[in-house]
Amino acid sequence: MGMAGGDEKLLVVRDLHKHFPTAAEPVEVLRGVSFALDAGEALAITGPSGSGKSTLLHLIGSLDRPTGGTIEIAGRDPFQLPEPELAWFRNRTIGFVFQHSYLLPQYTVLENVLVPSLAFPDRGRDGQSARAHAEELLARVGLGHRLHHRPAELSGGERQRAAVARALLNRPRLLLCDEPTGSLDRKAAAAVAALLFELHEAERTVLIAVTHSLELAAHFPRRCELAEGRCTELSAA
Amino acid sequence: MHRALRSLTFFWRPSLAVALGAAVASTVLSGALLTGDSVRGSLRDLTLDRLGGIDLALVSERFFREELARDLVRRRAAAAAAPAIVLRGTAIHGGTRARAAGVALYGVDGRFAELFGAGLPALEGGSGGLFPPLIVNEALRRELGAEPGDDVLLSFARPGEIPRETLLGEKEADDVLAARRFTLVQVLPDRGLGRFGLAPHQAQPLNAFVPLAQLQAAAERAGRVNALFAVPPRGAGSVDLRGAVRLEDLGLRLVRSGAHLSLESAELFLPAAAAAASAAVARGLGAASSRVFTYLATRMQANGRRLPYSMVSGLSALPELKDGEILLNRWAADDLRVRPGDAVEMRYLVMAPGGGFRERAARFRLRGVLEMAGRGADRSLTPSFPGIENARDMAAWEPPFAVDYGAIRPQDERYWDAYGAAPKAFVSLPAAQRLWGTRFGNLTAVRFEGGDPARIEAALRRELPRRAALEAFGLSFRPVKREGLAAASGSTDFAGLFLAFSFFLILAAVLLVGLLFSLAVERRAGELGLLLAVGYPVRTVRRQLLAEGGLLTALGALAGLAGAAGYAWLMMAGLRSWWLPAVGTAHLSLHVELSTLLAGWCAAVFAVLLAVAWTVRRLAKLPPAALLAGSTAAAARQRPGRLARRLAAGTAAAALALLLCAALSAEASSPALFFGAGACLLAAGLAFSALWFHRPRPWRRAGLAAMAARNVAAHPGRSLLAIALVASACFVLVTVAANRRSAGGDVREGAGGFPLFAESAVPLVQDPGRAAGRLALGLSEADEAALRGVSILAFRAVPGDDVSCLNLYRPGRPRLLGVPAELARRGGFRFGRTLTKTENPWRLLAADLGPGVIPALADANSATWILKLAVGQDLAIVDESGRPVRLRLMGLLERSLFQSELLVSEANLLRHFPSQAGRSFFLIDAPPEKAAGVAKALEEGLGRFGFDVSATAARLSSYHAVEDTYLSTFQALGGFGLLLGTLGLGVALLRNLLERRGELAALRAFGFRRRRLAFMVVAENGFLVLLGVGVGTLAGLLAVAPHLAAAGGPFPWPSLLATLLAVVAAGFVSCAAAVWSTLAAPLLPVLKEEG
C-alpha cells in the first residue's frame, strides 16, 4: 500500500518497522508499512494469524513503540511526546475497543465507561458532563438500563457495547478496534459492528479495525491485507 | 483511595494474602523491637525491684557515724536515710561446711527494710538460738544448703583504719579477718530485699542480712557504719551532706596538747585536701599552721652506736633544715654521742611490692641538738600508732611488723617512760615525705599555733566538713536508681540484635509480600493495560497500585502488631529458657511500648512498600500491549550477557585462587582466605545456575523430567531469585553454625596459658605468688608442697561494673584490674589490634600519655560490643579523688579471660586509686596434672579470705556460651526465615502454575494424569530448593573448612542438618500444596477460560 495523503491527513503511517528480540534472532513483524487516513475514513486490517495486525494497531495506538518509521496523528508524532503528554494525547485522541472488553469487574457499567475521564481529573471535563455523556453513550449502545450493573452481569455482546461506549467517551478522533467482534456470536457481532459504524458516522472518527472476520471487513470502505510484514490495500468489495 | 478500596475489596482473596504477608513482616519486625523493649523493661523492673525505695547510696571505704543518717533526716536533707554496714565476705554452713564466696553482707536495721516497704522483725528480735539472727536470700540458702535454725559462719575483712599496705597497717590474717557465727532465721525470696544490690547486673546476688549492731560489734566499729541508703527530699535530686557531716565522719580528729592543736587522721595519713582546708581555716583566724610527718626509724646509728626504734618527725616548721640534715633531741644526741656535723644513719621499714617489709637506710648530717623541752620532747608530734601508743613499755609493743625486742635497751625503756613516743629526731618535711611518703598520704598532722586553740578547734569542727571536698573522703551519694535505670538501657541493643537475628525472617516476609502482591497485580494485567491504553499516565497507574499496596500493607502491618507482642513474648520465653546462657536471668517479661509498636509498624510498612514499589515499577515498565495480552514477563528471554559469563568464570577462578593461596600460605588454614573462597563459590554457583537456565535445550529426550528441566529454565529470573534466597540463607546458617564453640582450642590462648584463676572476697595484702607471702597468709607446709612449681600472678582490682557480655546492663564504671609488671614481662595472651605495633602489647600499659590519660587494654568483644570503644579511643571515668581520668584503649585482647574488666598497669591503678589495698584477682599457672590439687590447697589455705579458684576454661566457656547462644538464636530465627522463604517459593510456584494452568489443563486433556503432572511440577521446584540448599551449604562448608579441621569444639551438625532438612521438607510441602490447589481445579472451565 503506497503512501498517501498530505498534511491534512489525520493519520499518516510511514515505513513502519517492528521487530521483537528473541533468544534466537529478532523476529521482524512489520517491514515498512505505510498508509494514511483522512478524518471520517474507515480501514479494516486483515491478515493471517501472526501477520502483525494487532502489533500494527498497538503501534498506531501508541501502546508500543516502532523499531523504525513514523506515525503521525493529527500532525503530531506521539512518540516524540514525553510519557505524561503521550498519555494525555492518547486519552484525548484515541479510543480503543479490544477483542476482550477489559471491563473492570469491580466497577459498574457506568463507572467502567467513565474510567477514561478519570485519567486526568485536573485537565479533563468535569465529572457531571462526563457522566452525562457516558449515560448518553450507554443509551446509544442500548445499555441505558444497565448503568449500575456489574460486568459479570452482562452478556458478551453487552460487555463489548459497553467497551465501545467507553472508547468514545472522550470523543476520540481515532477509534482503534482489535478484533472487536472476535469473541462474539454472529448476531452480537453484527450488532456491535453496526454500532461501531453508526458511531463512526456520527462522530466522524477515523475507524481502524483489525479483524479476521471477512463479514466485518466487508463493511469497511478501505481494507488492507497484512502479510509477511507488508500491507497491501485491497479494492473495496 | 476510593478506587483502591473498591479494588481491594473486590479482589479480597489476593488482597488478604498480601495483607497477611505484611502482617508477618510487621509481626517479626515489631516483635524484634519489642524484644528490645522487653529486655530493657525487664532490666528496669529488676533495678526498681532490687533498689526498692532507695534512690541514693553512699558506700565508703571509711566508716562514719551511724548518727549521720538521723542527722540528715532531722535536718530535712533526706526524706529517709538508713545506715548500714556493707561488706563482702564468705558464708560457711556450720554443719556441712558448705561454703559460699562473694557474699554481700549487710548490717542493717528496720530503717533499711522500711525503704523496701517491708519489715525485718526477725532481725530485730533474737534468733532464739545461740547466735545472733541472720537472714539470707534464697540464692544464698541454696548455695549453702541451709535451712532456718542452722548456724552459719560469716567471715569478712575487718575494716581497718590504717591502710594495710603501710608500715602500721594490720596485715596478719587474724587481724585482717573477722568471723562471726549467726543463726539463720529467715529466707527471703529472690526479689525485693532478697535481690538488693547496688551493682547493675542481672545476676542474682548472694545476700546476707544481720543486725547492724551485731555487725558493728563484729567489725569493732561500734556506732559507725560505712553506708547510707537514702531518699532525697521531695523535689530534690540528691541529699546535701554538708551541714550534717562532722569532722569525725571524715576520719579526722583534733588533738589538744598544751597550746597546740593538731589535726590528725584516724587512718594515720592526713589527706592533703584536709590539710589544705584546715590551714585555710586557721589562716582566717590568724593562726599559723605547720605540717608534720612522723615515722618510725627502726634504728639510728652514729659513731658505732645504735639507737633502736625511734620516732622521727619531718616538720615544715623547720625550714632551715636542708634535705640531708637532721636534728636530734638531747637524749638521742647524747645516746649516740654525736655533735653537729656528725653523720647519722637512719634505718626504716617500707612496704615491699609483694606485701612484706624492706629496710632502707638514709644518711644525714647532724645540724643541731634540741633540748628536752618543747619540740625536743613533744609527744603530740606522734600520732596514735596502734600497738604502740598504749604500750606500757617498749617490750609490750605489738606493731604489725616484727620488732627486734633484743635491741631495746634499758635506757630506751626509760625514755619511753619519760617521754613516750616523743620524736627523737627531726628532718625537713620534704626529706620525710621523700623517704616515707606513701600513696595514702605524706602527712600525719597539721599543727596550729598562735591564736585561741578553743576558737580554732571550734572553727575547724564547723568549717572543715563544709570546705573539704567530701568526695575525696568517700562521702558522696551515688544516684543508684537513676544510674541503674540508665544502665537498664542495656549494653547490648537487643532490638538491634533481634532485628539482625530475624533478618532472614523479615526478608522472607517482605519477599513473600512482594511475590503475593506481584501475583495479585499480574492477574489484573489486562486492567493495567486498559488503563494505560485509555490514556492513564504511567504515574497515575503506579500511584493507584501503590495506594492499593500501601493500604494493604498498612492494614496488614497493623494486624501484625498483635502478633508482634506474641513474637516478643516467644523471644522472652526463649531467653528465659533455651537461650538463658545469653542473658543469665529468667526475670525477663514482655513489655510493650506504644512508640515501639508505631516504629515497628512504620518500619514494616516501609520495608513492605519497597517490595510493593519494586513490583509496581516492574509492571509499570511493561508496554500496555503486553499487559493487554496478559503478559507480565519483562521482555523476551535473551541469552545471558557477557557479564554473567564473566562473573561465573571470575568467581570460580577467584575461589580456586583463594584456595590455592590458603594451601600455599604459611597459615594453611587461614579462615579469611577460606571464607573468601566460600563466598566466591556461592557467587559462582549462582552464576553457573543462571547460565544453565539460559542454555538452549533442544528436544532430545522426552519425558516429564526433561519437561520439568525446561520449565525451570522458562523463568530464569524467578528461578535464580529462589535459588539465591535459599543458597544465601544456607550459606549464612552454615557459617554461623561453625562459629559456635564450646570450650575448645582457643582456651589456652584466651587464658594466656593459665589453667586456673581465682578471686578473693577479701583482698590479700601479701602476695600468694611468693613463698613469704604464702607463709604470711598462713598456708601450711603441705599447701606449700602442693604449690611447688606453680606460679601465681596477683592483680589489684578496683571494683566496678562487669563489662562482659554476661552483664545485660550498660556498664557505667568498669571494673579495673591492675596488671602486675610480671605479666607485662611474661607476655602471653592473644592480641588483636593495638594502637602501635609491638611484640609485647602488655608493655603498652606503661606508655606515658600525659596527665589524666591512662593506657588500658580490653577484650575485643567487651570493647566492641559492650563499651563501644575502638583502639585509640578514650573512656572517661572518675578516679578515687573524684578527678576525671581518661582510659585510652591501647589494644584489644582476642577472646580472652579478661572480658569483665579493663586492664591498666598496677602503677597507674595505684596512682589513681591509692586506697585499693591488696590483690583480689589471681592467675595461676600449674601443670595440668596438678591443677586440681593446687585449687584445693589454695581454697583450703585461703578459704578464710573467700579465695575461690576456678578453671579458666570454665570462665571462657561461660563467655563463649553467650556467643553460642546468640548464634543459636540467629540459627533458629534464620531457620524460620528460611522456612518462610520456602513458603514464598510455594507462592512463586503458585504464580507460575496459575500462569501455566492452561498448559497443565491441556496436558491433562491430552491424557496426562494428575499425579504425573504433580510429580513434574514438584520436581521442578524441589530441584530449585535442592540446588539452593546444595550451593549454599557447599559454599558455606568451604568457607568454614578451617573451623571444621580445627580441634575446637564440635561442629553442630545435628542442629544444622535438622534446619536444612526442615527447609527442604518445607519447600517440598509448599510445592505440593501449590500443585494440589492448581491441579484440583476442574479441567473444562480452565480450558474454556484460556481459550
Question: Could you give the C-alpha distances from A12 to A58, A63, B533, in angstroms and in order?
Answer: 15, 17, 20
Burial bucket for residue B558 (CB in 10 Å: 0-12, 13-18, 19+): middle
Count of Cβ atoms closer than 10 Å to residue B145 Cβ: 12
Q: Are residues B901 and B1025 in the same domain?
A: no
Amino acid code (one letter) for B837: K
* CB < 8 Å to A63, chain B: 529, 532-533, 623-625, 628
- The dihedrals phi and psi of B791, each to the nearest 5 degrees, come to -115, 140
Interface test with A, best of B1, B15, B534 (most A CBs within 10 A): B534
Of B534, B623, B638, Cβ closest to residue A21: B638
Same domain? B991 vs B1065 = yes
- B505 closest CA partner among B29, B187, B1036: B29
Which residues in chain B show pLDDT less than 50? 635-637, 668-669, 742-744, 1047, 1088, 1090-1091
Contacts of B1009 (CB under 8 A, 6+ apart): none
Quickly list DSSP for B754-812.
Answer: --EEEEEEEEESS-TTSHHHHHHTT--HHHHHHTTT-EEEEEEEE--B--STT--SPPS
- What is the overall mean pLDDT for chain A? 86
Chain A nearest-CA distance from B509, in A, is: 28
Are B645 and B619 within one domain?
Answer: no
Distance from CA of B728 to the nearest CA of A (A): 29
Strand order in the sheet with A68-73: A27-37, A11-20, A68-73
B795 and B671 assigned to the same domain: no
Residues in chain B: 1091
In a domain, B855, yes or no: yes
Report chain A residues whose CB lies below 8 A from the CB of B625: 54-55, 58, 63-64
Nearest by CB to residue B537, choosing from A83, A95, A106, is A83
Q: Are B796 and B919 in contact (CB under 8 A)?
A: yes
Q: Taking a C-beta distance cutoff of 8 angstroms, is the pair B290, B301 a contact?
A: no
Which residue, among B1003, B1022, B1002, B994, has the nearest Cα to B709 in the 3D structure? B1022
Burial class (CB in 10 A: 0-12, 13-18, 19+), B359: exposed
d(CA B604, CA B588): 25
**Is the Cβ pair A98, B532 closer than 8 Å?**
no
**Nearest Cα residue in chain A from B638:** A23
CB neighbour list of residue B598: distance below 8 Å, 6 or more residues apart? none
In the beta sheet, which residues pair with residue B182?
B152
> Which of B531, B537, B696 is opposite residue A84, by nearest beta carbon?
B537
User: Which position has the grid cell 540528715?
Assistant: B72
List chain A domain ranges: 11-234
Domain shared by B657 and B800, yes or no: no
**Which of B292, B366, B358 lies closest to B326 in space, CA to CA?**
B366
> In this predicted model, what pLDDT tens digit does every residue of A57-95 receive, in sequence order?
989 998 888 999 999 998 899 999 988 888 889 888 999
Contacts with A, B 6-35, CB within 8 Å: 6-7, 9-11
| Partner A contacted by B593 (CB < 8 A) | no
CA distances from A4 to A15, A68, A219, B783 (A): 12, 19, 22, 118
Contacts of B142 (CB under 8 A, 6+ apart): none
Contact A64 B623 (CB under 8 A): yes
- The residue type of A228 is E
SS3 B400: coil
Residue finishing a domain among B440, B473, B506? B473
Domain boundary residue, one of B899, B932, B958 = B958
Domain identity same for B953 and B911: yes
Question: Are the Cβ atoms of A23 and B637 closer than 8 angstroms?
Answer: yes
The pLDDT of residue B635 is 47
Closest-CA residue in chain B for A175? Answer: B534
**Of B241, B223, B214, residue with least CA distance to B64:** B223
Contacts for A119 with CB less than 8 Å, ≥ 6 apart: A87, A91, B531, B534, B535, B536, B537, B540
CATH, range A11-234: 3.40.50.300
Contacts of B529 in chain A (CB under 8 A): 63, 102
Same domain, B1022 and B963: yes
> What is the spatial distance between Cα B923 and Cα B949, in angstroms, rounded to a whole number?
9
| B757 and B629 belong to one structural domain | no
Instruction: State whether B526 and A100 contact (CB < 8 Å).
Output: yes
Rounded distance between C-alpha atoms, residue B99 and residue B761, angstroms: 12
Query: C-alpha grid cell for residue B458?
Result: 571550734
- How far apart are the C-alpha atoms of A143 and B917, rounded to whole Å? 102
Specify whether B910 is located in the same domain as B1042.
no
Fill in the DSSP letter of residue B864. I
Please give, rounded to a whole number of angstroms, the shortest distance from the CA of B541 to a CA of chain A. Answer: 9
Q: How confident is the model at residue A4 (pLDDT cuts 50, 70, 90)?
A: very low
For A120, which residue in chain B has the nearest alpha carbon? B536
Q: Where are the alpha helices (DSSP H) in B307-397?
A: 330-336
Of B6, B526, B532, the CB nearest to A106: B6
Is B885 in a helix, a strand, or coil?
strand
Give the residue from chain B lying closest to A27, CA to CA.
B636
Residues B878 and B907 in one domain: yes
Using a CB cutoff of 8 Å and minimum separation of 24, what contacts does B405-409 make? Answer: B407/B299, B407/B306, B407/B308, B407/B309, B408/B308, B408/B309, B409/B308
Same domain, B387 and B434: yes
Together in a domain, B504 and B461: no
State which residues form the domain around B340: 247-473
pLDDT score of A2: 39
Axis-axis angle for helices B952-995, B494-501 (nearest 10): 50
Q: At which residue does the C-alpha cell 591443677 appear?
A: B931
Q: Do B536 and A91 touch (CB under 8 A)?
A: yes
Is there a contact between B530 and A102 if contact means CB atoms under 8 Å apart?
yes
| Of B851, B863, B922, residue with least CA distance to B890 | B863
Q: Measure B714 CA to nearest chain A CA, in Å.
A: 12
Residue B485 lies in a domain: no
d(CA B397, CA B416): 11
Q: Nearest-CA neighbor of B381 among B348, B426, B323?
A: B426
A183 to chain B: closest CA residue: B1091
- B850 contacts chain A (CB < 8 A): no
> Which chain B residues contact residue A83 at CB under 8 A?
537-539
pLDDT at B668: 46
Query: Looking up cell 562532722, which residue turns up?
Result: B246
Chain A residues with beta carbon closer than 8 angstroms to that of B527: 102, 104
**A22 at B interface, C-beta within 8 A:** yes
Compare all CA atoms of chain B with the CA of A169 and give the residue at the minimum distance. B534
| CB < 8 Å to B638, chain A | 21, 23
Tell me the nearest-neighbour CA distance from B520 into chain A, angstroms.
14
Is B549 part of any domain?
yes
B527 and A CB contact within 8 Å: yes
Residue A17 · residue A32 · CB < 8 Å: yes
C-alpha cell at B1073: 500444596
Cβ–Cβ below 8 Å for A105 and B10:
yes
Q: Which residues contact B71 (CB under 8 A, 6 or more apart)?
A: B65, B244
Residues of chain A neighbouring B530 (CB-CB closer than 8 A):
96, 98, 102, 104, 115
CA A190 to chain B, closest CA, distance in angstroms equals: 22
- Cα B440 to Cα B279: distance, rounded to the nearest angstrom: 20
Residue A52 sits at the chain B interface (C-beta within 8 Å): no
CB contact under 8 A, B529 and A102: yes
Domain boundary residue among B473, B506, B537?
Answer: B473
DSSP B196: -
Out of B536, B539, B636, the one facing A20 most closely (by C-beta) is: B636
A83, A99, A115, A169: which to substitute to probe chain B, counting the most B Cβ within 10 Å? A115
Kindly provide the residue ranges of all beta strands, DSSP E only, lying in B281-429, ordered along the sequence.
288-302, 305-315, 325-329, 343-351, 357-370, 425-428
Within a domain: residue B1076?
yes
Q: How far is the C-alpha of A186 from the C-alpha of A166, rounded, in Å?
A: 22
Residue B541 counted as domain residue: yes
**What kind and span of H or E run contains B511?**
helix B503-522
Q: Cell triple for residue B193?
A: 530485699
B98 touches chain A (CB under 8 A): no
Residue B371 lies in a domain: yes
Backbone angles phi, psi at B1066, to 5 degrees: -60, -40
Name residue B315's amino acid.
Answer: L
Taking the CB of residue B924, how many other CB atoms lie within 10 A of it? 24
Q: Do B639 and A105 touch (CB under 8 A)?
A: no
Pairing of strands A174-178, A94-97: parallel
B238 inside domain = no
Answer yes or no: pTM beyond 0.80. Answer: no
* Chain A interface includes B637 (CB < 8 A): yes
From A56, which residue of chain B is nearest by alpha-carbon distance? B625
Residue with cell 583566724: B285
Q: How far is CA A42 from CA A34, A210, B230, in A?
A: 16, 11, 98
**Element containing residue A34 per DSSP (H, E):** strand A27-37
User: Does the pLDDT at position A101 exceed 50?
Assistant: yes
What ipTM does this complex have?
Answer: 0.76
| Integer CA distances (angstroms), B673 to A32, B23, B241, B669, in order | 59, 41, 62, 8
Contact B816, B950 (CB under 8 A): no
Query: Which residues from chain A sit within 8 angstroms of residue B639, using beta carbons?
Result: 23
Q: Contacts of residue B536 in chain A, CB cutoff 8 Å?
A: 87, 91, 119
- Name the A residues in 178-197 with CB < 8 Å from any B CB: none
CB-based contact B33:B27 (threshold 8 Å)? no
Domain assignment of residue B489, yes or no: no
Please indicate if any CB of chain B lies within 8 Å of the CB of A102: yes
Q: Which residues of B touch A91 (CB under 8 A)?
A: 534-536
Helix (H, G, I), strand (E, B) or coil at B1056: helix
Q: Which residues pair with A233 in a beta bridge?
A: A224
Cβ–Cβ below 8 Å for A102 and B526: yes
Q: Do A64 and B625 touch (CB under 8 A)?
A: yes
* Contact assignment for A96 to B533 by CB distance below 8 Å: yes
Of B535, B628, B639, the CB nearest to A88: B535
